[in-house]
Amino acid sequence: IPFSCIYLEYIFQLLSDFMRQKLLLPGKSLYQALLDSVTLCNDSVKLQIVSEKNKVPLLVEIYAIDGNIFRLKINEISPLKSRYEVPDVLIKNLPLRAQKETGILVLTCANEDCKLHITANPFQIELESKGETVLSVNTNGLLYFEHLQPPPQNRCDISYIPQCSVCDAENQEDLGLWQEEFGSFLDIKANGPSSIGLDFSLHGCEHVYGIPEHAETLLLKNTSDDDAYRLFNLDVYGHKIHDKMGIYGSVPFLLAHKPNRTSGIFWLNSSETVVEINTKAHVPSRSPPAITKQRVVPQTDVRWMSESGIIDVFLLMGPTPFDIFKQYAQLTGTQALPPLFSLGYHQCRWNYEDEQDVKTVDTGFDEHDIPYDVIWLDIEHTEGKRYFTWDKKKFQHPERMQELLKRKKRKLVVIIDPHIKVDPMYALYSQAKKKGYFVKNRKGQDFEGICWPGSSSYLDFTNPEVREWYADQFAFKSYKGSTDILFVWNDMNEPSVFKGAELTMQRDAVHHGNWEHREVHNLYGFYQQMATAEGLIKRSGGQKRPFVLTRSFFAGSQKYGAVWTGDNIAEWSYLKISIPMLLTISTAGISFCGADVGGFIGDPEPELLVRWYQAGAYQPFFRGHANIESKRREPWLFGDENTRIIREAIRERYTLLPYLYSLFYRAHTTAEPVMRPLWVEFPKEQETFGVEDEYMLGNALLVHPVIEQKATTVNVLLPGSDEVWYDFRRFRRLDYSGTLKIPVTLESIPVFQRGGSVVPLKTTVGRSTEWMTDISYELRVALDSKDFAVGELYLDDGHSFQYLHKKQFLHRKFTFHKNIFSSSCADEIGQYHTKCVVERVLILGVQKQPTSVTVSLQDGKDKEVVFTYDAKTSMLTLEKLLLNVGADWEIHIK
């Protein structure tokens, strides 16, 4: 089906789905709070609100959570049946202190920094921090809640009138209240409409971010009625750029930023959701008339609308960007610490033909001296698209193939999708069929749709029993031909249903617990990745970390592995848009993300391919991928010169692995994004707020990929008036900030190290990450304007959970201060033995040549250090150090 036709149908349904809410215009809220209904518990306050239209009360619950978070829940008091609440979000509530005033209820956080004011009539909520209004709820009176209804006996018996209705009972069917047509599909709504909505005002903010996934700018834009941000996971082949319709993943998390505060809204709802944004000038209501002109400030109004479920929203008060990341991780979890091999380079296409093809490609990397860690197999490796099987002609000896890869210390990833071929002779299908593990249609039969194998049924991953059974399928005795170097790629799990409405599952399909698909749609891929990760862990007896890549994702997916941006196109515009897409995903908690290098669809010209490799080398997930109809594009197929440049980009990635792995440890323990927008590191520098063509990799490296064809210069913003920057390759110090025109050639892309940082590197590379375990380290020290620098190195065995269970890890801190460079333990709990040494230290920004350099060891002995000084670059090089990376030592520079 042409996607343009699907898109037009989507627009029609979207208008139908939320038209009732759109009839409710900004103004005084129809709801008022009943202060006499207020009850205070140890961990919450509860009260009722009632609409003047339908007089049906709703229950409001408010929780104050440790760490400057408020939770607001609004639900029916006595629903016809339970409404869906997204499971598996564990939080800790803190006691509230409350006092009643005239028409207002005031709630105070435990730390007394934040207060929450509830106004009774109209019902509104205002969050205040240190006397400043940060965020308000229902300011525009757009709270909307459709109550579940018994089905009408006949058309004239319809009793439900939407609270904002301008229509009568006779034309309610036109608004899709009880059933809705989508092309040839009919969506039956057994209990009528159930949509919800609420508006929020972010005071003083005109810069908002988040709510992936869209092929859009980093800064969220103002929306119109037919151009709102949509969160609804869909299989969109060759997705359009600068389109808000939503693609493979959904994270309903929005961040707002201004120079003195970052705040966040986490809308916990897994049904189709639409977000409207409107930034405008605003006069605070408390401003005296005499200073009104001076008090005009920006304000961003955000309206959330979901098809079903309840209102369950977390308001994160920051105040810093890193506080927001921690608060969000407190709710949804941190990024799983990936196995080290998964940070190397991955080689994939749809499809490597057979075992000989795999062997040839693997050998090609060695022959061209290009490191890589993982080769991937797509759907053609299976027996007729039956997952957990092998094509008997093309992959006759899968274990032997994996043994050859294992000898080279490399890994294999295979694709496993959620659709299961309808075939009674296929053991996986027959077992799942017998156990009743498939999603049902509204008549109670197994839901069947068309996907790669033809007629397929879909495993119901929302069922914990199904997830446990599915996890067991990865056991070596079940998954014949698999070994411990085989890892997994979950694709098509939006879920994709060919010939389905919008190429996905019908909304009235039925899941575990009798929940309709409309309630859980955006969670489906999340649950498959969860089950897959658990399967790989169980396969290893709980000893080894899994690697699972998923295309569909939701809030919390970071706990289970990596994501990528889906089916992009081999065009310059897709390279360009990949940067804001990855930055948005990263700030929404999922650090392990990447885009297909070269573009999945089509054939990239050599220059584009080179530039994409250079960008991907400095991004969290690094995979080259191509469509089945694309020409072969292994890195050595584009001429000797391009091969050399691509080789250098990939090798540069491997030298960076110690820094990257340490960043992932930070993401895992403190929720700091690996790849982050400039404004995160420079929250007071307004010129950074909209920058999306460059980014920080951790806090030390600024990366500006070249994203324009035939570029000879790029404009690079080096933020911070008091910052010092260094060219990462030429070591040249830049004592000025602002936007600089940097000359570029095809050789490399601009990368700068921030003064005040220490970046750990490997001195050389091996054929894969496992070949590099004992390769020595180089520490690159970049001094700031006060001749200070600090950095860290995290290392463990790279593959097991021993770092967690037995504290087998090293976490080292490096500090340069007063001409002493020292190594100390950053975490006394960790203990890990390594043969690795620090062989070389480069110190950038040393103003004069020292007379001597000595190193002091733990045994009290000092020894002279061999050094060279480059006056042109002000770089001091210390070599042949052979300092144990796990020991304390000091280098004295005189």
What interhelical angle do 464-472 and 524-539 show, nearest 10? Answer: 40
Domain annotation covers residue 142: yes
- 719: its two tokens: 């933020």
The pLDDT value given to residue 826: 97
CB 435 within 8 A of CB 469: yes
The pLDDT value given to residue 289: 52
Q: What is the CATH number for 265?
A: 2.60.40.1760
Residue 8, φ and ψ in degrees, nearest 5: -65, -40
Domain annotation covers residue 256: yes
> Which CB contacts under 8 angstroms, 24+ apart, belong to 854-860?
854/891, 854/892, 854/894, 855/881, 855/883, 855/889, 855/890, 855/891, 855/892, 856/889, 856/890, 856/891, 856/892, 857/883, 857/887, 857/889, 858/887, 858/888, 858/889
The pLDDT value given to residue 35: 87
Domain annotation covers residue 604: no
The span from the CA of 21 to the CA of 585, in Å, is: 28
Which three-class secondary structure string do you get for 513-550? HHEEHHHHHHHHHHHHHHHHHHHHHHHCCCCECCCEEE
The span from the CA of 268 to the CA of 83, in Å, is: 13
Give the residue numbers spanning the domain of 231: 3-146+182-186+191-332
The span from the CA of 546 to the CA of 471, in Å, is: 12
Is the same domain home to 327 and 420?
no
Strand partners, 31: 51
Residues 6+ positions from 773 with CB-CB distance below 8 Å: 798, 836
The span from the CA of 116 to the CA of 334, in Å, is: 28
CB 650 within 8 A of CB 640: no
- 55: its two tokens: 């007089």
Instruction: Give the three-state DSSP class for 446.
Output: strand
Active-site residue, 491 included: yes
The domain boundary, picked from 287, 309, 332, lies at: 332
Identity of the amino acid at 807: K
The span from the CA of 382 to the CA of 380, in Å, is: 5
Is the same domain home to 325 and 435?
no
- 309: its two tokens: 């479920």
Is the same domain home to 315 and 429?
no
Tell me how far the alpha carbon of residue 798 is from its chain's centroid. 22
- 792: its two tokens: 């860290």
The pLDDT value given to residue 156: 47
Torsion over CA of 784, 789, 790 and 795, rounded to 10 degrees? 110
Domain annotation covers residue 212: yes
Is the same domain home to 325 and 461?
no
Count other Cβ atoms within 10 Å, centred on residue 570: 22
The span from the CA of 435 to the CA of 772, in Å, is: 47
Tokens 């950095």, residue located: 791
- 760: its two tokens: 């750990």
Per-residue CA distances from 749 to 645, 700, 745 (Å):
11, 16, 8
Which of 446, 491, 534, 778 is catalytic? The answer is: 491
Which of 146, 272, 312, 494 is catalytic? The answer is: 494
The span from the CA of 302 to the CA of 358, in Å, is: 50
Is the same domain home to 454 and 324?
no
Identity of the amino acid at 824: S
The span from the CA of 668 to the CA of 831, in Å, is: 18
The span from the CA of 262 to the CA of 256, in Å, is: 6
Query: What percentage of the chain reaches a pLDDT higher than 70?
Result: 92
Full strand arrangement of the beta sheet holding 448-451: 419-421, 454-458, 448-451
All residue ranges of the chain with pLDDT < 50 are: 1-12, 14-15, 91, 94, 155-170, 172-174, 287-288, 290-292
The span from the CA of 503 to the CA of 495, in Å, is: 8
What does the chain come to in residues? 894
DSSP letter, residue 26: S
Residue 714, φ and ψ in degrees, nearest 5: -135, 150
Is the same domain home to 305 and 446?
no
The domain boundary, picked from 291, 308, 332, lies at: 332
Which three-class secondary structure string do you get for 744-785? CCCCCCCEEEECCEEEEEECCCCCCHHHHCCCCEEEEEECCC
Instruction: Give the three-state DSSP class for 833.
Output: coil
Count other Cβ atoms within 10 Å, centred on residue 361: 17
The span from the CA of 679 to the CA of 218, in Å, is: 11
The span from the CA of 653 to the CA of 408, in Å, is: 19
Domain annotation covers residue 134: yes
What interhelical angle do 464-472 and 427-435 show, nearest 10? Answer: 150
The span from the CA of 832 to the CA of 803, in Å, is: 9
Is the same domain home to 327 and 440?
no
Tokens 């034309």, residue located: 171
Count other Cβ atoms within 10 Å, centred on residue 785: 12
| Torsion 523-524-530-533 (CA) sign | negative
The span from the CA of 300 to the CA of 204, in Å, is: 8
Give, rounded to a whole angstrom, the gap between the first and last alpha carbons of the chain: 73
Nearest to 659 by CA among 481, 839, 814: 814
Is the same domain home to 310 and 424?
no
Is the same domain home to 435 and 328?
no
Nearest to 485 by CA among 394, 375, 634, 338: 375
DSSP letter, residue 572: H
Q: pLDDT tens digit string along 299-348? A: 999 999 999 999 999 999 999 999 999 999 999 999 999 999 999 999 99
Instruction: Give the three-state DSSP class for 421.
Output: strand
Q: pLDDT tens digit string along 494-543? A: 999 999 999 999 999 999 999 999 999 999 999 999 999 999 999 999 99
The span from the CA of 317 to the CA of 320, in Å, is: 9
Strand partners, 876: 843, 869
The span from the CA of 310 to the CA of 692, in Å, is: 35
The span from the CA of 200 to the CA of 420, in Å, is: 42
Is the same domain home to 207 and 317?
yes
CA triplet 387, 393, 398: central angle to 5 degrees?
Answer: 60
Active-site residue, 380 included: no
Which of 17, 391, 567, 784 is catalytic? The answer is: 567
Domain annotation covers residue 41: yes
What interhelical angle do 640-655 and 657-670 show, nearest 10? Answer: 50
Residues 6+ positions from 859 with CB-CB distance below 8 Å: none
Question: How many domains are there within the chain?
Answer: 2
The domain boundary, picked from 529, 545, 567, lies at: 529
Domain annotation covers residue 73: yes
Domain annotation covers residue 89: yes
The pLDDT value given to residue 223: 95
Residue 101, φ and ψ in degrees, nearest 5: -125, 180
DSSP letters, 90-105, are ---EE--EEEEETTEE
Instruction: Name the helix (H) or strand (E) containing 181.
Output: strand 179-182
CA-based radius of gyration for the chain: 28
The span from the CA of 624 to the CA of 364, in Å, is: 15
DSSP letters, 264-286, are EEEE---S-EEEEEEEEEE--TT
Residues 6+ positions from 171 with CB-CB distance below 8 Å: none
